[in-house]
Structure 1
Amino acid sequence: MKKWCKAGVVILLLCVLVIPLGACGNKEQETTKVRVAEVTRSLFYTPQYVAIEKGFFKDEGLSIDLKTTAGGDKTMTTLLSDGADIALVGSETSIYVQAQGSNDPVINFAQLTQTDGTFLVSREKIDNFNWDMLKNSTFLGQRKGGMPQMAGEFVLKKHNIDPKKDLNLIQNIDFANVATAFASGTGDFVQLFEPTASVFEKEGKGYIVASFGTESGHLPYTVYMAKESYLKEDKETVEKFTRALKKAQDWVQENDAAEIAEVIQPYFEDTNLETMETVINRYKEQGSFAADPVLDEEEWNNLQNIMDEAGELPTRISHEELVNTDFAEEVTK
């Protein structure tokens, strides 16, 4: 009887010791919520969706709350009003904010794309396109002062086309409605992001004739940015965020378009896998996806040159003033 009692005590003690250890082992990792506002939903931002779907953010202990805020002005307003912690938008917006004066500057800390992401789409099929065909046409452009419009005008001028004199230029249509306007019959040519451009081509609504990305050179086209105060107060979170992004960038560089398309399809339910594969491959081939998150000074200066050419640069701002490469360089080592 005593032996059974002793055995019972031993078992009881083991249970007391083991159960808490097991409970600790099953405890879920605590996560930090990061609110991200993206300027639009596009395959141009493929590495971002890969980082979410492949669990790279989760591995860093981050929970991403992603929302689409159509247009650079709305995205920046969301960030400035504390509706988001991080914004994915064109770097030009940070320059506009700084030029107006800010006690808490918006700092670019990780680059996602390094070329323009738009394509020139013609209403009619053109077998042997040349840029002179745009002269005297009605061109449906992007919002004035936005990166797509400025990069577009830079490329047009590069081909000796004055957007104001040689085209019937329409650019007073809201960013989110440009594609709809073209589909309803407005314009002979339009500047569109993917996957809309390829979808239009498959549906016979338009035909891709040129890429603005291959023509405009490297620039910090779409970048993750945050208030300077956030970068200081949540330094560890920003580093984890940037590390997850770098893992996704590496994964996109190492895998083919078909596999990438399958991973991120949940973000593009209305686009078939074949179209997604075509678009992703097109962006990969023209080097649109940045291989790492470092925004270097040469790209920053090219951005401001394009803004200046478009007459939209309020003041030239140094790379060190609005760009923080510490996080990107740390995770790229």
Structure 2
Amino acid sequence: MKTGLKKIAALVGIATFGMMAMSGSAWAQALEKQKVSIAVGGKNLFYYLPLTIAEQQGYFKDEGLQVEISDFAGGAKALQALVGGSADVVSGAYEHTINMQSKGQMITAFVLQGRAPQIVFGVSTKTMPNFKSIADLKGKKIGVTAPGSSTNIVANFVLAKGGLKPSDVSFIGVGTAAGALSAMRSGQIDAISNLDPVVTMLEEKKDIKVIADTRTLKDTNDLFGGPMPAATLYTTEAFLKKNPNTSQALTNAMVRALKWLQTAGPSDIIKVVPESYQLGDRALYLATFTKVREALSPDGRFPEAGPQTALKTLQAFEPDLAGKPIDLSKTFTNELVKNANAKFK
């Protein structure tokens, strides 16, 4: 009898130890894929601030995920990583989901980070001091984060509204940090399409004259004629189907970050964001955060009219896209975000 009791006690002890070991990683046990690689083009940008918050605050770890983030010069490069198989997910612009569908590849955005693109198009005060209209940019060099990225797309749209085609100018990849500042200030480029904190730093020194601004909801609506989805987490349709729990865990972490950002003050941001992202000017970085805060999504949901606005924008300068049937319902989903908002109220 004593031996039997000892055996039972031992089994109970083993079970208890097993439960204790599992308690901190219940989600991890349910995940189809614990290690997830995320590609991003310009991690230091406010455009991707929710991703940085989710990473720095440990929200991915809380969901049982081991996330590895690879930073590229621009969104087009991050997309290439997904298509090439070196990344599972991309933190990137929504428009890529439409462009990829037109090429026969189904990509789905599953959480919205930004409800305004935050992209600013500015003309050099050094090389073009007498700028009058978009027509003056014909034959000029325009700096974008990387050719094919969302900054390139917004630049194309601004040019189209002014009567120019993408082929009327030369696009040069300048990145999202010091390289972009240098390219503009040294006269290597005549105009720039970029984001904060880079843009505000150029404005402060009067290096650029702003032509188009999408940092507020009003300015975004005025330029595009409706709400324009910006930064998202997107992945292949196949990944979402194969890894529903992993995708939900990623969404939970991002929605939690978005909600944290709704109440965070400048001092909170400074404690979390790596110093290198501030490009040597902490005060300006904080002032810029206040300026772009409205552009961040409060809950990760895609606005109903947003996808249609994005499609119209792309069709304005991509004639090939105008003739192709695009199923916008397959370019995004609000299902995972709905679940995450129920968890983090």
With normalisation by structure 2, the TM-score equals 0.76
Query: What SS is found at the alignment partner of 1:268?
Result: helix
Query: What SS is found at the alignment partner of 1:113?
Result: coil
Identity in percent:
19
In the alignment, the residues of structure 2 paired with residue 182 and residue 207 of structure 1 have an alpha-carbon distance, to the nearest angstrom, of 8
Task: Tell me whether 1:58 sits opposite 2:52 in the alignment.
Answer: no
In the alignment, the residues of structure 1 paired with residue 150 and residue 37 of structure 2 have an alpha-carbon distance, to the nearest angstrom, of 23
Q: Mean Cα displacement is larger for which, 86-95 or 136-145?
A: 136-145
CA contact (8 A) 2:47 2:117 kept: no
In the alignment, the residues of structure 1 paired with residue 121 and residue 97 of structure 2 have an alpha-carbon distance, to the nearest angstrom, of 27
In the alignment, the residues of structure 2 paired with residue 145 and residue 223 of structure 1 have an alpha-carbon distance, to the nearest angstrom, of 17
CA contact (8 A) 1:145 1:312 kept: no
Larger radius of gyration: 1
Other-structure match for 1:148 = 151
Q: Equivalences for 1:1-333 in 2 at 5 Å?
A: 25=20, 29-30=24-25, 31=28, 32-41=34-43, 42-102=45-105, 105-124=106-125, 132=132, 136=136, 138=140, 140-142=142-144, 145-155=148-158, 161-164=162-165, 169-171=169-171, 173-176=172-175, 178-202=180-204, 204=205, 206-207=207-208, 209=210, 212-213=213-214, 214=216, 215-217=219-221, 218-266=227-275, 268=277, 270-284=279-293, 287-311=294-318, 314=321, 315-333=324-342
Cα deviations by residue, 1:174-211 (Å, 9 ceiling, x for unpaired):
25265442232134442221112233345x37246465
Give the count of matched residue pairs.
312
Q: CA deviation at 1:76?
A: 1.6
One-letter amino acid of the structure 1 residue matched with residue 228 of structure 2 = L
Name structure 2 gaps, 5 residues minimum: 1-7, 29-33, 222-226
Query: What SS is found at the alignment partner of 1:136?
Result: helix
With normalisation by structure 1, the TM-score equals 0.79
CA contact (8 A) 1:297 1:319 kept: no
In the alignment, the residues of structure 2 paired with residue 267 and residue 67 of structure 1 have an alpha-carbon distance, to the nearest angstrom, of 16
Q: CA deviation at 1:299?
A: 0.3
Other-structure match for 2:31 = none
Query: What SS is found at the alignment partner of 2:66?
Result: strand
One-letter amino acid of the structure 2 residue matched with residue 174 of structure 1 = G
Flag the 1:178–1:271 CA change in 2: closer, same or farther, 3 A.
closer
RMSD: 3.6
Flag the 1:208–1:330 CA change in 2: closer, same or farther, 3 A.
farther
In the alignment, the residues of structure 1 paired with residue 75 and residue 151 of structure 2 have an alpha-carbon distance, to the nearest angstrom, of 10
CA contact (8 A) 2:51 2:91 kept: no
Flag the 1:139–1:216 CA change in 2: closer, same or farther, 3 A.
farther
Name structure 1 gaps, 5 residues minimum: 1-12
Cα deviations by residue, 1:68-126 (Å, 9 ceiling, x for unpaired):
12233321221122211111122222222222223xx221111111212222445449x
In the alignment, the residues of structure 1 paired with residue 19 and residue 203 of structure 2 have an alpha-carbon distance, to the nearest angstrom, of 55
Query: What SS is found at the alignment partner of 2:273?
Result: helix
In the alignment, the residues of structure 2 paired with residue 119 and residue 219 of structure 1 have an alpha-carbon distance, to the nearest angstrom, of 14
In the alignment, the residues of structure 2 paired with residue 312 and residue 198 of structure 1 have an alpha-carbon distance, to the nearest angstrom, of 33
In the alignment, the residues of structure 2 paired with residue 50 and residue 28 of structure 1 have an alpha-carbon distance, to the nearest angstrom, of 25
Flag the 1:312–1:92 CA change in 2: closer, same or farther, 3 A.
farther
